Amino acid sequence: MGRKKAIITGVTGQDGSYLSELLLAKDYEVFGVARRSSQPVQNKRLINHLLDHPNFDVVSGDLSDQVSMDQCVKSVGPDEFYNLGAQSFVPESWRSPTYTADITGLGALRCLEAIRAHAPECKFYQAGSSEQFGMVRESPQNELTPFYPRSPYGCAKVFAHDITRNFRESYGMFACTGILFNHESPRRGIEFVTRKITQTAARISLGLQEFMEIGNVNARRDWGYAEDYVEMMWKMLQTDTPDDYVVATGEDKSVKDFIEAAFEHVDMQLEWSGEGLETMAKDQDGVVRVKTNPDFYRPAEVDLLLGDPSKAAEKLGWVPKTDFKKLVLMMIENDLEIQKAGMS
């Protein structure tokens, strides 16, 4: 029996790069889907080190185009398909709701249709999101918690989740969704709040910036490490029966907690004052380092997301390996290296 073949959409992103590394280490042939016309070299920076790997290839495909996804699946003949591609930045989903719905929601349907037509035995993984829970009905959230999305992104992910389940139940396809809570890493895009925090804290510590502007510091999230989470994606497709799983740490921290942890690593102790839009933080020398900017608030806030990963532990033996403090440390150290290199 030859190597397993896997298709990954969103291969140039944080999760796609970690998953590619994992599958290549397991002797897979990996085919990363990218839109040829919109992939300048810098957008492949997270997979540049893989481009010369004999079992890794970038293939043309577009989640907005059914024909291209059909051709992609037909040409590769995959054993596994990981749909990680999406417009995944929640604030952008408010600015571009139709595009977000098309790529993030209908994109999943196009993948499923391509698999059903050309590779019906292929196992399909859909990247779900804790944003599907939105205004949470209960806490912590598990696989049976009702969805109440609070953004176009969350709505699109709910559609993708439901259509994946429908294809599983209607066509007998091996199709499942991992409802991933926030997962970060040094590879996180700088538009995301966690990476913004560690990058800015690094810059402030080196004298390159005076203060950080942030939105709602009281929002609480269940933050894990992306490299741990892609292992769970793979585990979900190694079972005999497809099922949906919450992927989380089971612990929640506030944005304020994340900021404090990042600044502690650069020897700054923050003291907070004010409420709401007046919230701010000064360092031990009395210098303002964090200010609130109303532009960074969401139109509809999500105050708390906290996952219950017990099903993943019980059925698949998956538990996260990286705790919150270690996650923040690796991110701030990475950003310090980047900023120092830029100064030299």
In this structure, the answer to whether residues 267 and 243 fall within a common structural domain is no
At 105 the three-state DSSP class reads: helix
Instruction: Judge if 237 and 289 occupy the same domain.
Output: no
Q: Are residues 215 and 140 in the same domain?
A: no
Average pLDDT, stretch 293-313? 90
- The residue written with tokens 């007046």 in the block is 278
Cα–Cα distance measured from residue 149 to residue 164, given in angstroms and rounded to the nearest whole number: 17
Q: Are residues 72 and 118 in the same domain?
A: yes
Residue 339 and residue 263 in one domain: yes
Q: Burial level of 211, CB count in 10 A (0-12/13-18/19+)?
A: middle
Domain identity same for 238 and 328: no
Statement to judge: residues 210 and 138 lie in one domain = no
What is the β-pairing status of strands 183-184 and 224-225?
parallel
189-200: b or e for each residue (b if 16 or more CB lie within 10 Å)?
A: eeebbbbbbbbb
List alpha helices for 172-309, DSSP H: 193-205, 226-236, 255-264
Question: What CATH number corresponds to the domain at position 234?
Answer: 3.40.50.720
Helix (H, G, I), strand (E, B) or coil at 41: helix
27 and 163, same domain (yes or no) = yes
Same domain, 95 and 114: yes
| Residues 49 and 169 grouped into a single domain | yes
What pLDDT, on a 0 to 100 scale, did the predictor assign at position 88? 78
At 9-37, the pLDDT tens digits run 999 999 999 999 999 999 999 999 988 65
CATH code, 330: 3.90.25.10
The pLDDT assigned to 45 comes to 87
Q: Which residue range is the domain that position 210 belongs to? A: 193-219+254-304+323-343
CA–CA dist 86, 284 (Å, integer): 41
- How many CA atoms lie less than 13 Å away from 235 in the CB half-sphere? 19
Residues 212 and 234 in one domain: no
Look up the pTM and report it: 0.94
Indicate whether 91 pLDDT > 90. no
**Got the DSSP string for 112-179?**
HHHHHHH-TT-EEEEEEEGGGT-S-SSSSB-TTSPP---SHHHHHHHHHHHHHHHHHHHH---EEEEE
Residue from 217, 208, 187 nearest 280 by CA: 217
73 and 33 in a common domain: yes
pLDDT at 41 exceeding the cut of 50: no
- Domains contained in the chain, number: 2
Q: What is the pLDDT of residues 191-209, one digit of tens each?
A: 899 999 999 999 999 999 9
